[in-house]
Amino acid sequence: MEDRFSSTFFIRKSRSKKSNKCDIYLRITANGKRSEMSINRKIEDNQWNKRSSRVMGRNHDADMLNTYMDMITSKLNKIHQRLKDDEAYITASRIMQEFNSGGKPNKLVLEEFKKHNEEVDLLIGRDISKSTAKRYWTCYSHVTQFINEVFREEDYRFKDIDYDFIKRFELFLKTVRNCNHNSTLKYINNFKKIIRIALANQWMDRDPFYNYKVQFEAVEREYLNAEEIDILYNKELHFDRLKVVRDMFVFSCYTGLAYSDVEKLSTSDISIGIDGKQWINIKRTKTNTRSSIPLLPIAKEILSRYAYDPQVIKSDRLIPVFSNQKSNAYLKEIAMLCGITKPLTTHLARHTFATTVTLTNGVPIETVSKMLGHKSLRTTQHYAKIVDRKVSDDMKILEDKLETQKNMRSGK
């Protein structure tokens, strides 16, 4: 790592019109970047030696000023050496900040955020999913750009983060990064975890989120109805890649498994339940919660199709799958062939299981929640609202039919 550091003093004409004296300034340079501040001392212009960056003369005032500047230089060197020993990221502004805090270490946001993310990466596949870890790194990138562009700093002290910082970060995400409202709040929540760590370690004196309110906007989730599932399932497809993706999608429609869970599904995840039938018992990749799902006939039929597939046998997986990106691309192709206008994605299958396959057919919401592996019933209740809307739409159709029959009877 590059490490160039120096400090010097210089004078600048006082801004006060009443004073003819000059202010003494400190300039720190680290790795090509500068940071400056006044040391709150004044002298006459002709008293300053530019070459030595010190006050000329052998009188008491000159000696006191020079001693004071020597003391500052000594403290700066100690701070620089400590940061170097800690292998910390050294910047002029950081050295200046720690000098102003009396030489006490000031924890920096990006430095600690990066440490957190590196620790999260070690837990991928254990306590944390790959997608969650990736989201923290994306948030880190957003915070880095925010600090660099808005504050013109390479890092930022936790102690300086306040409510205004959070609000400005929210605005930055919505405008510069062009994130929608809910995505913005998800990144804010990612950052909030880093703030909680700082508060727990007493790196901050106050919680900047104290008066910050988070309100997500309701999102309408698409799902397939029973007719669309039948069209998709019975469609004659002429390419193996489309058949595999279609089967994977329909399997998710009848099990509620997310793409990441279907991808890792193996023979060890299938067991015999208390009813003597086959069940899927799997820990969800995203939440690490247990999902227990009885295998419906269509799901079992799809598994049987791939029982002797070379890729399945070789990998000990139950269904051969493409990457999520490729699967979603192929699903768009399949949707066009089936005449389905809804935006087919691997996750839409999970929504379809929750609504069309289960709740619409009278499966209790508590049962659906358990099969989906939701940590909270509140998450599942969103699907119940969708079903209620469908009931409302169906009743509107019935209402129109009854009105038409009434008009026919009355001769209108």
226-377 belongs to which CATH class? Answer: mainly alpha
- End-to-end CA separation in angstroms for the chain: 87
More confident residue, 217 or 371: 371
Top-confidence range, 102-116, 190-204, 263-277, 357-371 = 190-204
- Per-residue pLDDT at 309: 87
Mean pLDDT over 266-278 rounds to 89
pLDDT tens across 2-34, in order? 578 999 999 988 776 666 789 999 999 988 888
pLDDT tens across 73-90, in order? 998 998 888 888 877 778
Q: pTM of the predicted model, to two decimals? A: 0.59
Distances (CA, A) of 195 to 63, 68, 159, 312, 411: 46, 37, 10, 45, 71
More confident residue, 202 or 394: 202
pLDDT tens across 143-160, in order? 999 999 998 888 898 988
pLDDT tens across 296-339, in order? 999 999 999 998 888 888 888 898 889 999 999 999 999 999 99
- Per-residue pLDDT at 146: 97
- Per-residue pLDDT at 95: 87
* Secondary structure string (H, E, C) spanning 324-377: HHHHHHHHHHHHHHHCCCCCCCHHHHHHHHHHHHHHHHCCCHHHHHHHHCCCCH
- Per-residue pLDDT at 1: 47
Percent of all residues in the chain with a pLDDT value above 70, rounded to a whole number: 94
Rounded to 10 deg, the angle between the 324-338 and 240-253 helix axes is 90
pLDDT over 70 at 389, yes or no: no
d(CA 262, CA 309): 16
Domain boundaries, given as residue ranges, for the chain: 5-100, 109-200, 226-377
Please name which of 136, 237, 242, 245 lies closest in space to residue 191, comparing C-alpha atoms.
136
- Per-residue pLDDT at 230: 94
Q: Are 254 and 298 in contact (CB under 8 A)?
A: yes
* Secondary structure string (H, E, C) spanning the chain: CCCCEEEEEEEEECCCCCCCCEEEEEEEEECCEEEEEEEEEEECHHHEECCCCEECCCCHHHHHHHHHHHHHHHHHHHHHHHHHHCCCCCCHHHHHHHHHCCCCCCCEHHHHHHHHHHHHHHCECCCECHHHHHHHHHHHHHHHHHHHHHCCCCCCEHHHCCHHHHHHHHHHHHHCCCCCHHHHHHHHHHHHHHHHHHHHCCCCCCCCCCCCCCCCCCCCCCCCCHHHHHHHHHCCCCCHHHHHHHHHHHHHHCCCCCHHHHHHCEHHHEEECCCCCEEEEEECCCCCCEEEEECCHHHHHHHHHCCCCHHHHHHCECCCCCCHHHHHHHHHHHHHHHCCCCCCCHHHHHHHHHHHHHHHHCCCHHHHHHHHCCCCHHHHHHHHHHHHHHHHHHHHHHHHHHHHHHHHHCCC
pLDDT over 70 at 222, yes or no: yes
Mean pLDDT over 276-284 rounds to 87
The pLDDT mean for the chain works out to 87
pLDDT over 50 at 386, yes or no: yes
- Tokens representing 352 are 């379809």
pLDDT tens across 248-260, in order? 999 999 999 989 8
Nearby residues of 125 by Cβ (< 8 Å), 6 or more positions away: none
